[in-house]
Structures are given as structure tokens and as C-alpha cells.
């Protein structure tokens, strides 16, 4: 029997990415300075996501051992974004780096997620949860979107650590 967190964490991650994305876009718009740079940053994200998706498709299984590190990597990017001051000159370069990393990790995660048995159920629940959460967040008055980005980043990072801890405990239980 699968552990409940292994069944639902991919849903939380995919829903969270969609819910946080508008807040991330606001941050990215501030970081990019011009519309042209903003579109180039999204192009970098898309190309990187395609590469991540392709790397998973071409890779040898088991890719499940990488998933905790994907969560921690995405969480780390969101944590950095949530804690960066937008008033310095290298921010567009950092934004490009974040776009490439985040795109690759999300592309890889999506390729992995669609291969899971629970993906069909997650796809239906995904749309329902995103709608409900977005309506609820529309009523929240908050000073900065970076608070949501930081909270989601911490959530992803913790999910990755929990998976590593669970895997280590399961491995030690099997070896005993």
C-alpha cells in the first residue's frame, strides 16, 4: 500500500505551482524591467521545461528517487524569490537563472507525474482545487505576493525533506 503523502503530495505540488504562478509572475515582471525581457524569461522557462520533460522521458527509471530533490529544488527557488530584494542590478540575471532551474524542474516533475497511477484522479482534482484556492486567495488582502511565494517554497522544501526521511526509514526497515 502506498503512503498517503506519496499519493497526494504530487497533487499539492502541481496545484501549488498553478496557484503561486500569478504571484511569481508579478515578481518576475518587477525583476525583468521591460516587456521584451519578460517574454525572453518565459521563453527560457519554456525551453528549460521542455528539456526537463525530455530528460525524464529519455532517462532510465527509477526516477522516483529524484523526486524529493525536485521538490527541494523548486522550493529553494521559490524561497530565494520570496526573499530577494528587487532593487539591485543583477536581478534580471538571477531571474533568468531561476526561470531555467524552475522550468527544468517543473518539466521533469510533470513528465514524472503523468506516469503515476493517480494522475487521472489528480487531473480532475487539480482543476477543482485551483479554482477554489484562487477564489479564496482573491479575498486575502496581502502586502506582497512574496509571502505566498515564500510559504509555497517552504512547503515544497519540507515535502522533499519528508520524502527523503521516509525513504531512509523504509530502506532501513527493509534491510532489517
Cell (9 digits) for 113: 507525474
- Give every residue of the chain whose pLDDT is below 50, as ranges: 1
State residue 53's pLDDT score: 92
Closest-CA residue to 79 (of 27, 133, 9):
27
Question: Average pLDDT, whole number, for the chain?
Answer: 83
State residue 143's pLDDT score: 66
State residue 112's pLDDT score: 87
State residue 44's pLDDT score: 94
Residues listed for the chain: 176
Amino acid at each position: 500500500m502506498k503512503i498517503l503523502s506519496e499519493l497526494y503530495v504530487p497533487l499539492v505540488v502541481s496545484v501549488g505551482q498553478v496557484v503561486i504562478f500569478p504571484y511569481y509572475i508579478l515578481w518576475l515582471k518587477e525583476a525583468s524591467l521591460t516587456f521584451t525581457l519578460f517574454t525572453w524569461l518565459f521563453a527560457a522557462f519554456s525551453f528549460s521545461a521542455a528539456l526537463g520533460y525530455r530528460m525524464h522521458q529519455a532517462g532510465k527509471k527509477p526516477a522516483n528517487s529524484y523526486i524529493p530533490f525536485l521538490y527541494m529544488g523548486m522550493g529553494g527557488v521559490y524561497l530565494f524569490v520570496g526573499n530577494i530584494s528587487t532593487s539591485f542590478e543583477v536581478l534580471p540575471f538571477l531571474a533568468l537563472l531561476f526561470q531555467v532551474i524552475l522550468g527544468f524542474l517543473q518539466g521533469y516533475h510533470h513528465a514524472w507525474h503523468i506516469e503515476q497511477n493517480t494522475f487521472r484522479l489528480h487531473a480532475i482534482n487539480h482543476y477543482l482545487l485551483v479554482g477554489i484556492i484562487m477564489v479564496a486567495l482573491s479575498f486575502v488582502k496581502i502586502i506582497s505576493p512574496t509571502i505566498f511565494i515564500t510559504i509555497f517554497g517552504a512547503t515544497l522544501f519540507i515535502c522533499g525533506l519528508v520524502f527523503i526521511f521516509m525513504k531512509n526509514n523504509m530502506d532501513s526497515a527493509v534491510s532489517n
